[in-house]
């Protein structure tokens, strides 16, 4: 084959780019969204939401691959091994949720402060820097995967610490971007007006960024390593993130239902007191078995047992406010997801966490599928749901504040997406819980936690059936996600009616 | 009923939130300083790295009603006595290798990580290494070429080849041996070590 023939076979880069551009344009025409309906801050927010949804899809995709490898260990062996798929699965999750939170805050900040975002140009630059960095990190995860046992690998490839695997250069980048973000929050509220919601949000963001720094150091001592590592993971997901969604929910309830600010803010303070009062020292439940002193068994056991209380308060809050307003809302899918959040947070984080948080039980459940069961329901229930609620709020305004209450066209789509996603995650949670029970019993209590004991439990039919059911419900979740993406792209299209004006009462 | 009682007022809960958060955080800082000082390598709970020169076991203590690490007589790793400095360097290489090969996204370390492969906390003491004489050699060989040396216990799950060099494998073995000496408050429960068999 000479080179001229090759030229015919291989498409020219220019023509590929052209085709991609045409496809993108066709897509934009089909979606038919008008950014003129949004303020500059909201336009920035929807960029974050878009990337969040793409990463959400990636999370589910790599989750399915990992689940399949439990059933067929040879699948993609040596190409995309379980550790790679699982790392992308959990990292995509953490990052899409952060994107959702940042977007939600950029969305609500102009309304809450009564002024434009102060450093919008910097915020836009930060968005592209962060997105570029995330893309690069994922490409390195997928194509380079591992490096030699040297500092340079920790700096440029993978830090190998669950949830915060991102290499050191990316840690620094993420911190810089987060600093731009918090500057914007503080400066915007300072220029406009402060509120209770604004105050809680600002202090919470400072804590959130400060905690991330605790995860950026290398230590030979594994006990110290895991001590600080949990500072980041626990104090994010069981403290500062919970307060952050409290803020987002408080604001959403005012917007969705017309709840009174005084009531919402009082609840928010109660939630902060209960959340930080139980969650900060509840950190101790991660220190039972990593070499830390014995007093953590009491401190961690006691305070983490209190952790469900603020989540009960949040359910009461959401349901009470909805009830007072007779569930009358301008945005049905968003309110449905807020309610799903209140229950999901309570059951996933609260009940499922409480079930194995006491050291007497945790001795047997620690490091089994029990944790995976809790992880699936809590991350979905506490954080995926509230983000999805916000996506619906955003799309309503992106369409020009159209009607999204009773009688929305194709309402079956959002209802089925809600149903399938929730059923899928609950199904996976139950399957993993059965696997976890079986592991705690066979591997831990009977066999004594040896490698032979581990595999004896993994080879049990009840464990393997649980893995099959997890796969099936994973597919249900994926179907729900597909429907959700379709619905978010199309809901409110061609809708002529404007949303009812919400009255605060 | 126009007056809001104190317990339902916004300002009361605002102050409560601030106080509760501040007090909890201060307690956490105090406990952190104490915990870190109790767990520096070389202390009672986390032994010095040179512990890899010793025999390590994990035995049930009836009085405490839990298993505790037991440090015994000399038992050099790879037939060589190491200074604290040499031992620390080897363990450090092992720890870095464990991170850069992403072990934790299949295995658990001190019970934390992923659940696709067995826990590594007491891997050094596991009966799966058949006998104490073969152990070091088997571990290094397995780590360098897990595919051909795989023992899957009937699960068909095999560790992939992660291109681990001989020096890195020795580092990992040192890291695992050192980690098995950490006092983990009795986790894992009821663990029968390779020593117990003899």
Burial letters B82-120, b for 16+ CB under 10 A, else e: beeebbbbbbbbbbbbbbbbbbbbbbbbbbbbbbbbbbb
Phi, psi of A105 (to 5 degrees): -70, -40
DSSP 8-state assignment for residue A380: I
Alpha-carbon gap, residue A371 to A282, rounded angstroms: 16
Residue A347: the pLDDT is: 96
DSSP 8-state assignment for residue A358: S
Pick from A81, A146, A292: which is nearest to B35 by CB?
A292
Which of A9-13, A139-143, A218-222, B186-190 shows the lowest mean pLDDT across its residues? A9-13
Pick from B17, B36, B160: which is nearest to A273 by CB?
B17
Q: Which two tokens stand for residue B72?
A: 């015994």
Q: B47-86, pLDDT tens digit by residue?
A: 999 999 999 999 999 999 999 999 999 999 999 999 999 9
Across the interface, whether the CB atoms of B28 and A280 are under 8 A apart is answered: yes
Scan residues 68-127 of B and list those with Cβ closer than 8 Å to A.
Answer: 88, 91-106, 108-116, 118-119, 121-123, 126-127
DSSP A435-490: HHHHHIIIIIIIT-S-HHHHHHHHTSHHHHHHHHHHHHHHHHHHHHHHHHHHHHHH
Max alpha carbon distance in chain A (Å)? Answer: 77
Average pLDDT score over chain A = 94
| Residues A82 and B114: beta-carbon distance below 8 Å | yes
Across the interface, whether the CB atoms of B13 and A227 are under 8 A apart is answered: no
Residue A160: the pLDDT is: 95
| Residues A467 and A429: beta-carbon distance below 8 Å | no
Instruction: Say which residues have a Cβ less than 8 Å from residue A79's Cβ, sequence separation at least 6.
Output: none
**Cα distances (angstroms) measured from residue A497 to each of A258, A333, A396, A486, A494:** 20, 17, 12, 21, 9
For residue A102, is pLDDT > 50? yes
Residue B2: the pLDDT is: 65
- For residue B160, how many other CB atoms are within 10 A of its CB? 18
Which of A9-13, B155-159, B165-169 shows the lowest mean pLDDT across its residues? A9-13
Q: Which two tokens stand for residue B178?
A: 């050192």
Phi, psi of A221 (to 5 degrees): -70, 105
Q: A2-27, pLDDT tens digit by residue?
A: 555 666 666 677 889 999 999 999 99
Residue A81: the pLDDT is: 97
Which residues from B are below 8 Å from A281, CB to CB? 24, 27-28
With CA atoms as reference, report the closest residue to B185 among A296, A228, A439, A280. Answer: A296
Across the interface, whether the CB atoms of A289 and B97 are under 8 A apart is answered: no
Which residues from A are below 8 Å from B156, CB to CB? 73-74
CATH hierarchy code of domain B49-197: 1.10.760.10
pTM of the predicted model as reported, rounded to 2 decimal places: 0.95
With CA atoms as reference, report the closest residue to A473 among A421, A428, A431, A416. Answer: A428
Alpha-carbon gap, residue A92 to A138, rounded angstroms: 9
Q: Find the DSSP H helices in A144-195.
A: 151-156, 168-191
Residue that has been written with the tokens 């709970």 in this structure: B45
Residue A500: the pLDDT is: 87
- In a mutagenesis test of the A interface, which of B48, B102, B121, B126 is the best target, namely the one with the most A β-carbons within 10 Å? B102
- Rounded to an integer, the average pLDDT of A47-74 is 98
Residue with the larger pLDDT of the pair B8 and A123:
A123
Residue that has been written with the tokens 């992106």 in this structure: A398
Alpha-carbon gap, residue A464 to A434, rounded angstroms: 10
| Residues A88 and A62: beta-carbon distance below 8 Å | yes
Instruction: Say which residues have a Cβ less than 8 Å from residue A38's Cβ, sequence separation at least 6.
Output: A46, A397, A398
- Rounded to an integer, the average pLDDT of A46-56 is 98
Residue A1: the pLDDT is: 47
Which residues from B are below 8 Å from A367, CB to CB? 108, 111-113, 115, 119
Please provide the size of chain B in residues.
198
Domain limits of chain B?
8-38, 49-197
- Rounded to an integer, the average pLDDT of A150-163 is 96
SS3 A331: strand
Which chain B residue lies closest to A240 (C-alpha atoms)? B21
- Rounded to an integer, the average pLDDT of A475-498 is 96
How confident is residue B197, by pLDDT bands cut at 50, 70 and 90? low
Across the interface, whether the CB atoms of B156 and A73 are under 8 A apart is answered: yes
For residue A194, is pLDDT > 80? yes
Residue A482: the pLDDT is: 98
Name the minimum distance, in Å, from the CA of B33 to any CA of chain A.
11
């Amino acid at each position: 084959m000479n080179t001229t023939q090759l030229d015919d076979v291989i498409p020219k880069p220019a023509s590929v780019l052209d085709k991609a551009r045409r496809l993108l344009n066709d897509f934009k025409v089909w979606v038919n969204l008008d950014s003129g309906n949004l303020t500059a801050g909201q336009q920035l927010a929807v960029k974050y939401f878009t990337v969040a949804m793409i990463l959400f899809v990636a999370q589910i995709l790599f989750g399915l691959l990992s689940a399949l490898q439990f059933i067929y260990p040879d699948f993609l062996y040596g190409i995309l091994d379980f550790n790679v798929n699982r790392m992308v699965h959990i990292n995509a999750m953490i990052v899409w949720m952060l994107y959702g939170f940042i977007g939600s805050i950029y969305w609500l900040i102009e309304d809450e402060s009564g002024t434009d975002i102060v450093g919008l140009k910097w915020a836009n630059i930060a968005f592209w820097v962060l997105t570029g960095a995330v893309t690069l990190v994922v490409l390195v995860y997928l194509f380079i995967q591992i490096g030699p046992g040297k500092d340079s690998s920790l700096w440029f490839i993978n830090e190998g610490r669950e949830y915060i695997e991102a290499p050191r250069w990316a840690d620094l980048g993420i911190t810089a971007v987060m600093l731009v973000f918090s500057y914007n929050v503080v400066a915007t509220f300072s220029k406009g007006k402060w509120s209770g919601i604004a105050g809680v949000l600002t202090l919470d963001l400072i804590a959130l960024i400060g905690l991330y720094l605790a995860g950026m150091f290398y230590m030979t001592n594994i006990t110290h390593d895991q001590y600080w590592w949990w500072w980041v993971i626990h104090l994010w997901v069981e403290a500062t993130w919970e307060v952050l969604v409290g803020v987002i929910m408080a604001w959403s309830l005012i917007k969705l239902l017309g709840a009174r600010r005084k009531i919402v803010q009082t609840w928010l303070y109660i939630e902060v007191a209960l959340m930080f009062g139980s969650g900060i020292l509840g950190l101790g439940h991660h220190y039972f078995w990593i070499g830390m002193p014995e007093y953590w068994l009491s401190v961690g056991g006691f305070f983490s047992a209190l952790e469900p209380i603020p989540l009960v308060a949040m359910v009461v809050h959401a349901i009470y406010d909805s009830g007072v307003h007779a569930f009358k809302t301008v945005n049905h899918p968003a309110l449905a997801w807020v309610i799903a959040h209140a229950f999901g947070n309570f059951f996933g984080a609260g009940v499922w966490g409480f079930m194995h948080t006491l050291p007497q039980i945790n001795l047997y459940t620690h490091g089994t599928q029990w944790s995976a069961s809790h992880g699936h329901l809590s991350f979905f229930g506490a954080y995926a749901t509230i983000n999805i609620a916000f996506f619906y709020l955003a799309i309503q305004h992106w369409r020009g504040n159209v009607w999204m209450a009773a009688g929305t066209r194709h309402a079956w789509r959002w209802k089925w997406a809600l149903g399938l996603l929730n059923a899928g995650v609950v199904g996976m949670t139950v399957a993993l819980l059965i696997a976890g029970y079986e592991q705690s019993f066979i591997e831990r209590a009977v066999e004594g936690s040896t490698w032979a004991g581990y595999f004896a439990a993994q080879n049990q039919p009840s464990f393997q059936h649980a893995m099959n059911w997890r796969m099936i419900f994973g597919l249900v979740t994926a179907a729900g996600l597909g429907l959700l993406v379709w619905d978010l792209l199309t809901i409110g299209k061609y809708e002529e009616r404007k949303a009812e004006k919400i009255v605060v009462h | 009923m126009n007056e809001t009682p104190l317990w339902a007022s916004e300002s009361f809960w605002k102050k409560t939130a601030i106080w509760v958060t501040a007090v909890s955080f201060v307690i956490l800082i105090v406990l952190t300083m104490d915990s870190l000082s109790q767990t520096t390598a070389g202390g009672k709970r986390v032994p010095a790295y040179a512990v890899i020169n010793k025999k390590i076991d994990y035995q049930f203590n009836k009085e405490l009603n839990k298993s505790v690490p037991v440090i015994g007589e000399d038992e050099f790793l790879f037939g060589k006595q190491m200074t604290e400095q040499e031992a620390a360097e080897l363990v450090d290489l092992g720890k870095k290798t464990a991170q850069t090969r992403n072990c934790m996204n299949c295995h658990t370390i001190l019970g934390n990580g992923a659940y696709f492969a067995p826990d590594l906390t007491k891997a050094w003491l596991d009966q799966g290494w058949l006998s104490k004489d073969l152990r070091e050699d088997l571990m290094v060989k397995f780590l360098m070429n897990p595919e051909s040396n795989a023992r899957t216990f009937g699960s068909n799950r095999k560790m992939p080849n992660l291109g681990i060099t001989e020096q890195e494998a020795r580092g990992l073995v040192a890291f695992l041996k050192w980690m098995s000496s950490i006092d983990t408050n009795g986790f894992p429960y009821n663990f029968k070590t390779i020593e117990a068999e003899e």
